[in-house]
Every structure is written in structure tokens, then in C-alpha cells.
Structure 1
Amino acid sequence: MEKFYITKGVYETLDMRIITYIQTLIKSMDIEVDYLQVFSISGNVLIHTQEVPEYIKEYTLSKEYRDEKLFSIKTEEENSNYWTLMLAHEY
């Protein structure tokens, strides 16, 4: 089971519903999942991308949010895998 961690910046900036939604999007991807997932929020639009294999999907959110760019990075260790969600400027 993969774990998800969020940085303090994400915790203090984003609504928990968006954080949970991003986690769900990663878990439900139907193609090979790259170690780096990029999420851009602009108003009520969330754009989810990855480079390899190329992937881009746009979602309409139920309300408007502050514009943000986020990275979710997968770390694979011997006994566990986990994702860290961070604001772009925290990278």
C-alpha cells in the first residue's frame, strides 16, 4: 500500500478536498505512472500531467481555487513506496 505525505505548505494552502482528489487521481491512473506528477490549478480547472509516458488530463472543479502548481513525487524504498505532494516553490 502506497502512502501519501504532504508538505506543510500544501497543508496550510490547499483545501483537504483538493489534496484527497489529487491522491485519488494518481491512484486511478490507467497508464504507467511516472515518478513525477504535475498538477496545475487555475480557478476551477485542474490540469494533471506527466512526462513519461506522456499524459495530460483536465478536470473542472466544483469551485474556484487560488492558482497553484504542485508536484507529487514517488519515492520507492526497499520496504515501502510513498508519494510526497508539495507546492512547486517547495521543490
Structure 2
Amino acid sequence: MKEKLEKELIDGISLVEMSSYREKVLLDLKEKIKTPSRIAKSTDIRTNHVSNALKELKEHKLVDCLNPEKRQGRIYKITKLGEEVLKYI
């Protein structure tokens, strides 16, 4: 279990380090849950780039979508793993 968590953490750090968009999105979710449009507004990143970053962060378990059944107005939050990744960024 410990080795897997370390691998997930290392993979997460690597993923975030490779993209300023992913880093800004993850940092923006540190304080509270938000929709992609709110993240776009506060980070000054286009919404389509935010959506792509969120998709990649979600695939690596760094963020969660709280209402995935919604087509619009999805709300995202950072996961524990995402918070751990931020400690190394």
C-alpha cells in the first residue's frame, strides 16, 4: 500500500509539474470547491484549458467531481492526494 501511494504521489507531482495550467487549477481548488468557469475566472485561463486540466487531474485522482451526473455546473474539489502533491510543488 505504501509503495502504491508513493507511486501515485510521484506520478501526481510529475503530472502537475509538466503543466502550469494543471498547477494553477490545483492551487485554485486548494481553498474551496469551484466550477470550471469560476476556476477560469480566478486563474485567467480559458475554460476549455481548465476543463482539460481538470480531466487530467481527475484521472490521476488529484481532484474529484462532486456532481458528475451534471452536464453543466459541475463542482470540483481537491483530494487528499492532490493536497499532498501541492506540498511538493
* Same structural fold, with TM-score higher than 0.5 when normalized by the shorter chain: no
The answer to which structure has the higher strand fraction is 1
TM-score of the pair, normalised by structure 2: 0.28
Q: TM-score, normalised by structure 1?
A: 0.27
Bigger fraction of residues in helix: 2
